[in-house]
Structure 1
Amino acid sequence: MSAEIEARLSALGITLPTAAAPVANYVPAVRTGSLVVLSGQIPLADGAPAVTGLMGRDLTLEDGQAAARLCGVNLIAQLKAVCDGDLGRVARIVRLGVFVAATPDYTDHPKVANGVSDLMVDVFGEAGRHARAAVGCASLPLGVPVEVDAMVEIRD
Structure 2
Amino acid sequence: MKTIRLLLFTALAVIFAGIGAHAQNYKAQFPQMDTTGAIKDASGTTFATISKDSIIKNSQGEKIALIDRNGNLLDNTGKILGKAGKNGEFTKADGQVEYTVKPTKDGAHCEVYDKTGKKVLTVPKNYKEQASTMAYVQREMCMPKK
Q: TM-score range by the shorter chain?
A: under 0.3
State the TM-score, normalizing by the size of structure 1.
0.24
Identify the structure with the greater helix proportion: 1
State the TM-score, normalizing by the size of structure 2.
0.25
Larger Rg: 2
